[in-house]
Amino acid sequence: MQLAHRLTALAAALCCAAAAHAQGAGPIKVGLMLPATGTYAALGTAIENGFKLYVQEQGGKLAGREIQYFKVDDESEPSKATDNVNKLIKRDNVDVLVGTVHSGVALAMAKAAKDSNTLLIVPNAGADAITGAMCAPHIFRSSFSNWQPGYATGVVAAGKGYKRAMTITWNYAAGQETVKGFTEAFEKGGGKVIKDLNLPFPNVEFQALLTEIAAQKPDVVFAFFAGGGAVKFVKDYDAAGLRRSIPLLGSGFLTDGTLEAQGPSAQGLQTALHYADNLDTPRNNAFRKNFALTFKANADVYAVQGYDAAQMLGIGLSAVKGDFSKRDAMIAAMGKATIDSPRGKFTLSPSHNPVQDMFLREAVGKNNEYKGIAAKALADPGRGCKM
Ligand code: BEZ
């Protein structure tokens, strides 16, 4: 850790330790609901590691309060989501929920958080409604809305002069909403989406759909896949010979945390996302170094989002000197915060979604390298949100 960061952490710990001690406060109970199995398992691990890294950098406490973790493997399975989240809310009585990766599971979490008035920080899932129609003062997101990377990639595709696009994704909220964002920007920029292809989550039998792409010969293909499914899709697209004839663009999840497994099939792929591995800032460099030292793995966008979820909680707790009973003041501070993220500083929209730059990236070796800005300070419209 750099000296400046150590001193900040020490000051934060000293400031709030006395107040927390005076209250006789026990630990803050954090319920991590993330996938530990299935196609999104690695994403869940990266988020958990990112969250814990931030807490560790603050000396293992936030605002003088110990953090106690409770964990549930949500399996990225929406049908089990309500039961799973209730284990954390009702059985473990957590103070704050942190989760999850899959939009369908996160929608059930948001409903349970609203019903029980539990503080929720979403460290990945982009379901638009979470910071749209379902928004609430105690629901925050440290990641993105599905619309954001979709829209940014649509801007890139139109800017490259492509006119006819096909889209391909899993048939659930994340895929549908990302494609919707892509289509909005691409068609605004003069292009036309000629066909949307999809398959059920988490299926990876892409062959028939790839055959259809080859037959239609669009100028470009836009894809949303992530985790294990993204590895298989990128390899299959290459193996089908399509990379040579039809450019493939994606929201950045297509190549994030997956490049080693995708090998040569992913090299040179361009995507848009709110993070690039090689952002050359002291903040990102220190984060990546600490992450690699601690977990013997490279950080990715999921780790960043977990790290920033912990930062958001830390900012809220510091504002009330660790006194969780002052939850309204804590939530107000979180809503107004500027988060000093490895991705670059960001603020939250009125519906509590990050307002952030979306980068154009290119897969080079093990990194998604920064190529430029795809959309500056992009704010999700927060459609339907009434706080
Ligand atoms: C989602 O379900 O919202 C999601 C999953 C993986 C990566 C990005 C979004």
Question: What is the per-residue pLDDT across 173-228, written as a single tens digit (0 to 9) for each?
Answer: 999 999 999 999 999 999 999 999 999 999 999 999 999 999 999 999 999 999 99
Q: What is the mean pLDDT of the chain?
A: 95
pLDDT score of 70: 98
Ligand 1 centroid–CA 210 distance in Å is 22
| Both tokens assigned to 187 | 């068609």
Q: CA of 111: how far to CAs of 135, 143, 162, 172, 365, in Å? A: 10, 19, 40, 18, 41
- Whether 250 contacts 231, CB under 8 Å: no
Ligand 1 centroid–CA 253 distance in Å is 8
Nearest CA to ligand 1 atom 7: 226
- Whether 322 contacts 66, CB under 8 Å: no
pLDDT score of 25: 74
The closest alpha carbon to 39, from 226, 304, 260, 224, belongs to: 226
Among 34, 43, 75, 102, which residue has the most ligand 1 atoms within 8 Å of its CB, making it the best to mutate? Answer: 102
Ligand 1 atom nearest 146 alpha carbon:
3
| Both tokens assigned to 4 | 């400046």
Task: Determine how many CB atoms are found less than 10 A away from the CB of residue 223.
Answer: 27
pLDDT score of 156: 98
pLDDT score of 7: 47
Amino acid at 197: L
Model confidence pTM above 0.85: yes
Task: Determine how many CB atoms are found less than 10 A away from the CB of residue 296.
Answer: 7
pLDDT 10s digit of each residue in the chain, 387 long? 444 444 444 454 444 444 544 444 799 999 999 999 999 999 999 999 999 999 999 999 999 999 999 999 999 999 999 999 999 999 999 999 999 999 999 999 999 999 999 999 999 999 999 999 999 999 999 999 999 999 999 999 999 999 999 999 999 999 999 999 999 999 999 999 999 999 999 999 999 999 999 999 999 999 999 999 999 999 999 999 999 999 999 999 999 999 999 999 999 999 999 999 999 999 999 999 999 999 999 999 999 999 999 999 999 999 999 999 999 999 999 999 999 999 999 999 999 999 999 999 999 999 999 999 999 999 999 999 998
pLDDT score of 1: 44
Ligand 1 pocket residues where CB is under 6 Å: 40, 101-103, 124-127, 146, 174, 226, 253
pLDDT score of 295: 98
Amino acid at 148: Q
